[in-house]
């Protein structure tokens, strides 16, 4: 009898191990597939983006001509002095053979229209430069930039290029003389938006996102945690708390645009808060993030072992002391993780921001909660829709920046959890 | 004396209980023995506990005397833990749990409306089955209770109470050099003694122990048992245990529970050597449970 | 205890922020806004932003904030009322509607300045790799309408039977009809329907007659674009259409002229009625599928918001909207000289727009 039993068991073994083996293969396949998708995403964005971290610069010998600048003692008039002419003159001096008006225009269009601002700032910082000649690297126009980076074919017919043969010739000469080179694109990381790709930067959007997220964190975390604690630890389980729970779960699944409409109606129209402000953006994101934080916090509270609660109650702690002294510190890592994941979701949202005017062209870097601002994903959206070729790589680069922030936030969530997690 | 009369009545009941008859009838599960003592610390009269529709404890009457260890034994699911947790109202945290009857501490019904559970639990401390120190330092574990109750005003007083409590719990010598290490870093037996120290730091009158040794090895168990023996000098102790040997080693009185009924109460020697009730005898002789 | 501290800290922080916010928003509602707020069309957005940036960097005022809300959405905001919480300028890729003007009037926005800034061409583009094909608006109508006149000539419509361009006109290639274009929410789509589909449909005399007799029927014939796969909605992102055309040489795409201008090495404009969409052809009106672009200014704000006059001046300057101005570099087709002069004068005198003129 026992022999036959063990025979039956042995016969079935192969099948059982086979099932296990198959399941392992499915698992490995699933992981491999998701890794491939991820790698594909990163590679495709990365290959588009990496060139954006470099920028083509042209070296000019800028002569601060006192005749063009006029009165250099008065700071007011200096700001509007004719620095573009200073830049143009320096460029023209490098190519003395260029004489006709249209050719001059073609030549000066090689340098960014924003170059004069850099020269101006340099001069305002050091007015003693008047009458001096200085070697300066100035950003090239985006068309030149695209050509140098190889995003535009030099071979196509003249009429179909944005740079004509004359301009190509000048660029080649600049290249030969070593007066044109790709350098690290500091502009991209330090300035706000611009309609000129070579002058556009991500910093304005990053600041906007930063202020928005600060507001979101300050509101959603305390409110969310307090709501979760009350619901989980104090509220009686009855029909009302059931209704609230169902509603919170539903809210977590509501499309984000709805929160934008709500924000428009409540914060802008009713409270009269300013349009396009990170403050309002943060409040809208708070509405969106709250359900996520509440759900995560409740889960974290539930996961605190009952033995800790009993221990606290057993020595005579009140309900509130039990929660705040023992349960909350243990649940906090889980709550923080939930909050950070909710925040990361909020960081990537554009739809609700559209309604409250944060999808906008904003050049000045915001310096406070009520300054007009935009946000990282909005910047990506706006650049993706811009006709200039130069914005293609900027779009990818901005996506890289956004992904970096998301990864950093998620990593922070992991670190916080590891650091504060207590064993029991 | 009323007590004498009650005892006499219970003695008489024994005559109706045949040792041979099957004992499924509730009639045959009336408490026998000596549930009532003189000058008790806690008294329980006709306590019934319901979990929703389930009637978990039937009409239990039992006293806990001063400076005694009373052991509650019985097969799994007999309601002994449930009953223990009624004694400091730990069952309050369960929404659908309902308790009738009277449980008094020093003559005051602890289920009266004007009784606050917070001071009650300071008076009736509890040690749990699984050692559950707070995820804090050894020092903070012991100091926590006195701090929240305002029993200590400054560091010196706290140090003192931590030291005496740990000494009473027999843990001082082992941990005095590492009071700042987490309580969870101790061994299981040490953790359980830490929990006892934490409980006695608040200065309770009664200590409830819910199978305090079931997660411990025999050596740690022996230490706890010695400790319990010492503690009864100052406290009344009610201990729930699965181990009849433990009950016989540490307790003066023993109560035997069966399916929600208190079957028999008596001196430990009597219950183990000469049980009055058939069910008790079956259990202590190992025929059942 | 630590948990309590953290929690209390956060609570205090939240309370402080909320206090600061209430204070702040009151302060802001009371005080004037120090930057110009512009809303409106996504077609005008690339031009208005260039002007705003130029203005912000040189004029000594804050850079205006420009929201891309779409023409209709922009008008709604613009006509919301007078006061700093309402925008100062609305960009539009079509003329203001009479109903919008009346809504403005009702909300107290009585004095409005209308400025035309130039023209935008709508281009039917194809990959450089394909051979150019000449097309008429009638053919486009037949290719893209959901319902077309019965091929036999009867005065009734049938579901669009045409699969290839050759089916419509034997001189066209036998390629599958495949057009990528913007969704109904887009201003470009509105303009395409108006400038191509309506005109193309009106080539049939009986449909043209419907325009007077049965406007709804006319609209349902001309405005309904087929949904059987020949017209592919490619989202609002014109860049995406450009990339897809590059990958699929037999397809066509509908987008604004500025995208053709910026991507001349990859795509070519298809001649419509024999006219190739070039800068010059649109400017002198030869290329038919073009529309004017406008912006509208709330005159009550001109003296309240700092820099309004200077911004208008910058926009209406020759270096911006002139023949060689920087806007033309971005793909805006300038108005003829006399039209520019006339609007420039309007800007200087802040000429009032009357709803009756619309």
CB count in 10 Å sphere of residue A213: 22
Q: How far apart are CA B279 and CA B264, in angstroms?
A: 9
Chains contacting B with at least 3 CB pairs below 8 Å? A
Paired residues of C127 in beta bridges = C267
Q: How far apart are CA A164 and CA A159, in angstroms?
A: 7
Q: For residue A206, what pLDDT is reported?
A: 94
Q: For residue B71, what pLDDT is reported?
A: 94
Distances (CA, A) of B103 to B3, B64, B87, B89, C76: 17, 11, 7, 10, 72
Does A162 sit within 8 Å of C262, measured CB to CB?
yes
Task: Identify all chain B residues contacting A309, using CB atoms and an 8 Å cutoff.
Answer: 93
Q: For residue A291, what pLDDT is reported?
A: 93
Q: For residue B6, what pLDDT is reported?
A: 58
Which residues 114-143 of A are in CB contact (within 8 Å) with C? 114, 117
Q: How far apart are CA B77 and CA B257, in angstroms?
A: 9
Q: For residue B4, what pLDDT is reported?
A: 60
Confidence of residue C9 (pLDDT cuts 50, 70, 90): low
What chain A residue is nearest to B184 in terms of C-alpha separation?
Answer: A424
Does A387 sit within 8 Å of C256, measured CB to CB?
yes
Q: For residue B25, what pLDDT is reported?
A: 57
- From chain A, which residues contact B within 8 Å (Cβ)? 236-237, 305, 307-318, 321, 325-326, 329-330, 422-424
Does B133 sit within 8 Å of A314, measured CB to CB?
no
Does residue C3 have a pLDDT over 80?
no
With a cut of 50, which residues of chain B have pLDDT below it?
A: 1-2, 14-23
Q: Which strand (E) or helix (H) includes residue B209? A: strand B206-210
Q: Are C242 and C267 in contact (CB under 8 A)?
A: yes
Q: For residue B8, what pLDDT is reported?
A: 56
Does residue C15 have a pLDDT over 70?
no
Does A370 sit within 8 Å of C52, measured CB to CB?
no
CB count in 10 Å sphere of residue B288: 13
Q: How far apart are CA C120 and CA C185, in angstroms?
A: 18
Does A194 sit within 8 Å of C68, measured CB to CB?
no
Does A385 sit within 8 Å of C238, measured CB to CB?
yes
What chain A residue is nearest to C73 in terms of C-alpha separation?
Answer: A355
C315-322 CB contacts, 8 Å cutoff, 24+ apart: C315/C48, C315/C51, C315/C115, C315/C117, C315/C347, C316/C115, C316/C343, C316/C344, C316/C347, C320/C50, C320/C51, C320/C54, C321/C117, C321/C118
Give the CATH H-level superfamily of domain B2-7+32-284.
P-loop containing nucleotide triphosphate hydrolases (3.40.50.300)
pLDDT digits (tens, 9 = 90+) for C127-151: 888 887 889 999 999 999 988 888 8
What chain C residue is nearest to A143 in terms of C-alpha separation?
Answer: C262
Does B118 sit within 8 Å of A316, measured CB to CB?
yes
Paired residues of B48 in beta bridges = B100
Does A223 sit within 8 Å of C263, measured CB to CB?
no
Q: For a pLDDT cut of 90, what percent of chain C falls above it?
A: 18
Residue in B93, B120, B134 nearest the CB of A311: B134
Q: Are A389 and A161 in contact (CB under 8 A)?
A: no
What does R_g of chain A's alpha carbons equal in angstroms? Answer: 30
Nearest-Cα distance to chain C for A67, in Å, is: 20
Q: For residue B240, what pLDDT is reported?
A: 94
Nearest-Cα distance to chain B for A408, in Å, is: 29
- Mean pLDDT score of chain C: 84
* Contact residues for A224 (Cβ-Cβ < 8 A; gap 6+): A289, A290, A292, A293, A294, A297, A339, A342
Q: For residue A20, what pLDDT is reported?
A: 94
Per-residue pLDDT of chain A (424 residues), as tens digits, is 556 888 888 888 888 999 999 999 999 999 999 999 999 999 999 988 888 898 999 998 888 888 888 776 777 677 777 888 888 888 888 888 888 888 888 888 899 888 888 888 888 888 888 888 889 899 999 889 988 888 887 877 777 777 888 888 898 888 888 888 889 999 999 999 998 889 999 999 999 999 999 999 999 999 999 999 999 988 888 899 899 999 999 988 889 889 999 998 999 888 888 888 999 999 999 999 999 999 999 999 999 988 899 899 988 889 899 999 999 988 988 898 899 889 998 998 888 998 888 888 999 899 889 889 999 999 998 898 888 888 989 999 999 999 999 999 889 888 888 887 765 4
Task: Identify all chain A residues contacting C236, using CB atoms and an 8 Å cutoff.
Answer: 385
CB count in 10 Å sphere of residue A284: 30
At B61, give phi and psi (nearest 5°): -120, 120
pLDDT digits (tens, 9 = 90+) for B190-220: 999 999 999 999 989 999 999 998 888 888 8
Q: Are B183 and B141 in contact (CB under 8 A)?
A: yes
Q: For residue B27, what pLDDT is reported?
A: 63
Q: For a pLDDT cut of 70, what percent of chain C falls above it?
A: 90
Q: How far apart are CA C221 and CA C198, in angstroms?
A: 9
Nearest-Cα distance to chain C for A146, in Å, is: 12
Among candidates A348, A235, A355, A227, which has minimal Cα distance to A293? A227
pLDDT digits (tens, 9 = 90+) for C17-54: 555 555 444 444 445 688 999 998 888 888 999 999 88
CB count in 10 Å sphere of residue B106: 13
**How many residue pairs from chains A and C have C-beta atoms closer than 8 A?**
141
Does B130 sit within 8 Å of A315, measured CB to CB?
no
Task: Identify all chain A residues contacting C262, using CB atoms and an 8 Å cutoff.
Answer: 162, 387-389
Q: The complex's ipTM?
A: 0.82
Looking at the complex, does the CB of residue B125 fall below 8 Å from at least one CB of chain A?
Answer: yes
CB count in 10 Å sphere of residue C286: 15
* Contact residues for A154 (Cβ-Cβ < 8 A; gap 6+): A147, A161, A168
Q: Which domains does chain C have, with CATH numbers?
A: 34-120+292-357 (3.40.190.10), 121-290 (3.40.190.10)
pLDDT digits (tens, 9 = 90+) for C227-281: 888 898 876 667 778 888 888 888 899 988 888 888 888 888 899 988 988 888 8
Residue in A162, A219, A384 nearest the CB of C239: A384
Q: For residue C1, what pLDDT is reported?
A: 42
Q: How far apart are CA B120 and CA B114, in angstroms?
A: 11
Which residues 70-89 of C are in CB contact (within 8 Å) with A? 85
What does R_g of chain C's alpha carbons equal in angstroms? Answer: 24
Q: How far apart are CA C212 and CA C216, in angstroms?
A: 10
* DSSP 3-state of B283: helix
Residue in A308, A315, A423 nearest the CB of B121: A315
Q: How far apart are CA C80 and CA C66, in angstroms?
A: 17
Residue in C3, C67, C264 nearest the CB of A332: C3
Q: How far apart are CA C327 and CA C9, in angstroms?
A: 52
How many CA atoms are closer than 13 Å to the CA of C22, on its beta-carbon side? 5
Length of chain B: 289
* HEC profile of C132-186: CCCECHHHHHHHHECEEECCCCCCCEEECCCCEHHHHCCCCCCCECCEEECCCCC
Does A221 sit within 8 Å of C10, measured CB to CB?
yes
Which residues 196-255 of C are in CB contact (within 8 Å) with A? 236-239
Among candidates A134, A121, A57, A55, which has minimal Cα distance to A90? A134
Does A307 sit within 8 Å of B145, measured CB to CB?
no
Q: For residue B251, what pLDDT is reported?
A: 93
């Amino acid at each position: 009898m026992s022999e036959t039993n063990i025979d039956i068991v042995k016969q079935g073994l192969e099948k059982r191990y086979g099932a296990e083996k198959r399941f392992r293969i499915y698992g490995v396949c699933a992981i491999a597939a998701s890794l491939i998708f991820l790698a594909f995403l990163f590679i495709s964005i990365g290959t588009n983006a990496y060139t954006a971290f470099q920028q083509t610069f042209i070296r000019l010998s800028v002569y601060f001509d006192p005749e063009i600048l006029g009165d250099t003692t008065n700071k007011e008039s200096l700001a509007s002095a004719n620095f573009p002419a200073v830049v143009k003159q320096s460029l023209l001096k490098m190519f003395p053979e260029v004489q006709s008006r249209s050719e001059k225009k073609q030549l000066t269009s090689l340098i960014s229209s924003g170059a004069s601002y850099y020269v101006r700032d340099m001069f305002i910082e050091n007015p003693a430069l008047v009458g001096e000649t200085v070697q300066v690297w100035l950003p090239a126009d985006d068309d030149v930039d695209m050509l140098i980076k190889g995003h535009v074919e030099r071979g196509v017919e003249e009429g179909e290029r944005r740079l004509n043969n004359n301009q190509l010739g000048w660029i080649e000469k600049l290249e030969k003389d070593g007066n044109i080179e790709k350098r690290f694109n500091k502009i991209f990381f330090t300035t706000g938006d611009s309609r000129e790709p070579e002058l556009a930067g991500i910093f304005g959007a990053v600041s906007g996102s930063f202020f928005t997220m600060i507001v979101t964190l300050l509101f959603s975390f305390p409110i969310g945690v307090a709501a979760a604690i009350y619901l989980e630890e104090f509220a009686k389980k009855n029909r009302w708390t059931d209704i609230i729970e169902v509603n919170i779960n539903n809210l977590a699944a509501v499309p984000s645009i709805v929160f934008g409409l709500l924000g428009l109606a409540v914060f802008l129209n009713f409270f009269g808060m300013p349009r396009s402000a990170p403050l309002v953006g943060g409040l809208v994101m708070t509405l969106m993030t709250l359900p996520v934080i509440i759900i995560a916090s409740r889960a974290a509270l539930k996961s605190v072992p009952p033995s800790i609660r009993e221990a606290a109650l057993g020595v005579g702690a009140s309900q509130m002391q039990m929660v705040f002294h023992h349960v909350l510190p243990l649940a906090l890592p889980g709550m923080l993780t939930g909050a950070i994941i909710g925040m990361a979701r909020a960081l990537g949202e554009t739809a609700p921001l559209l309604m409250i005017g944060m999808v906008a062209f904003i050049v000045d870097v915001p310096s406070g909660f009520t300054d007009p601002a935009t946000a990282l994903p909005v910047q990506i959206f706006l650049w993706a829709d811009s006709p200039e070729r130069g914005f293609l790589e900027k779009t990818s680069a901005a996506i890289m920046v956004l992904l970096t922030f998301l990864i950093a936030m998620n990593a922070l969530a992991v670190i916080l959890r590891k650091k504060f997690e207590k064993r029991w | 004396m009323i007590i004498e009369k009650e005892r006499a009545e219970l003695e008489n009941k024994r005559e109706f209980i045949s040792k041979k008859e099957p004992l499924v009838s509730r009639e045959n599960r009336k408490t026998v023995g000596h549930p009532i003592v003189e000058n008790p610390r806690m008294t329980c009269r006709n306590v019934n506990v319901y979990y929703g529709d389930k009637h978990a404890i039937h009409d239990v009457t039992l006293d806990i005397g001063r400076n005694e260890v009373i052991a509650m034994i019985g097969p799994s699911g007999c309601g002994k833990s449930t009953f223990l947790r009624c004694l400091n109202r730990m069952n309050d945290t369960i929404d659908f749990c309902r308790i009738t009857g009277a449980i008094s501490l020093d003559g005051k019904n602890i289920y009266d409306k004007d009784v606050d559970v917070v001071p009650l639990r300071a008076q009736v401390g509890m040690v749990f089955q699984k050692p559950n120190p707070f995820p804090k330092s050894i020092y903070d574990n012991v100091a926590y209770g006195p701090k929240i109750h305002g029993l200590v005003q400054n560091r010196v007083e706290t140090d003192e109470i931590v030291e005496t409590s740990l000494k009473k719990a027999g843990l001082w010598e082992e941990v005095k050099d590492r009071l700042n290490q987490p309580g969870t870093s101790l061994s299981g037996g040490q953790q359980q003694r830490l929990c006892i120290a934490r409980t006695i730091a608040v200065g309770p009158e009664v200590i409830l122990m819910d199978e305090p040794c079931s997660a411990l090895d025999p050596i740690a168990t022996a230490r706890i048992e010695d400790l319990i023996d010492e503690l009864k000098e100052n406290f009344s102790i009610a201990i729930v245990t699965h181990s009849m040997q433990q009950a016989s080693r540490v307790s003066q009185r023993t109560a035997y529970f069966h399916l929600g009924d208190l079957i028999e109460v008596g001196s430990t020697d009597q219950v183990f050597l000469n049980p009055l009730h058939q069910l008790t005898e079956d259990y202590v002789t190992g025929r059942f449970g | 205890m630590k948990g309590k501290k953290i929690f209390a800290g956060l609570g205090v922080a939240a309370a402080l922020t909320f206090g600061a916010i209430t204070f702040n928003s009151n302060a802001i509602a009371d005080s004037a806004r120090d930057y110009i707020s512009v809303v409106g069309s996504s077609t005008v957005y690339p031009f208005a932003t260039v002007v705003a940036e130029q203005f912000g960097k040189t004029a000594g005022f804050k850079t205006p904030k420009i929201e891309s809300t779409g023409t209709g959405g922009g008008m709604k905001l613009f006509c919301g009322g007078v006061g700093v919480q309402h925008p100062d300028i609305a960009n539009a890729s079509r003329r203001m509607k009479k109903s919008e003007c009346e809504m403005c009037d009702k909300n107290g926005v009585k004095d409005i300045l209308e400025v035309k800034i130039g023209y935008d061409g709508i281009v039917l583009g194809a990959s450089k790799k394909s051979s150019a094909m000449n097309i008429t608006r009638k053919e486009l109508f037949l290719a893209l309408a959901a319902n077309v006149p019965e091929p036999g000539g009867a005065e009734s419509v049938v579901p669009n039977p045409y699969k290839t361009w050759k089916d419509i006109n034997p001189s066209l290639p036998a390629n599958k009809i495949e057009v990528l274009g913007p969704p109904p929410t887009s201003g470009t789509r509105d303009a395409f329907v108006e400038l191509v589909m309506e005109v193309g449909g009106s080539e049939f005399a009986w449909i043209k007659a419907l325009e007077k007799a049965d406007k709804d029927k006319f609209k349902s014939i001309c405005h309904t674009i087929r949904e059987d796969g020949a017209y592919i909605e490619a989202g609002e992102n014109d860049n995406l259409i450009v990339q897809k055309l590059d990958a699929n040489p037999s397809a066509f795409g509908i987008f604004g002229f500025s995208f053709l201008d910026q991507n001349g090495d990859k795509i070519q404009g298809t001649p419509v009625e024999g006219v190739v969409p070039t800068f010059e052809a649109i400017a002198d009106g030869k290329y038919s599928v073009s529309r004017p672009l406008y912006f509208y200014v709330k005159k009550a704000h001109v003296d309240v918001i700092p820099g309004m006059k200077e911004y208008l001046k910058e926009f209406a300057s020759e270096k911006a909207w002139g023949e060689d101005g920087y806007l033309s570099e971005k793909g805006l087709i300038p108005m003829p000289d006399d039209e520019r002069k006339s609007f420039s004068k309007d800007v200087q005198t802040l000429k009032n727009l009357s709803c009756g003129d619309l």
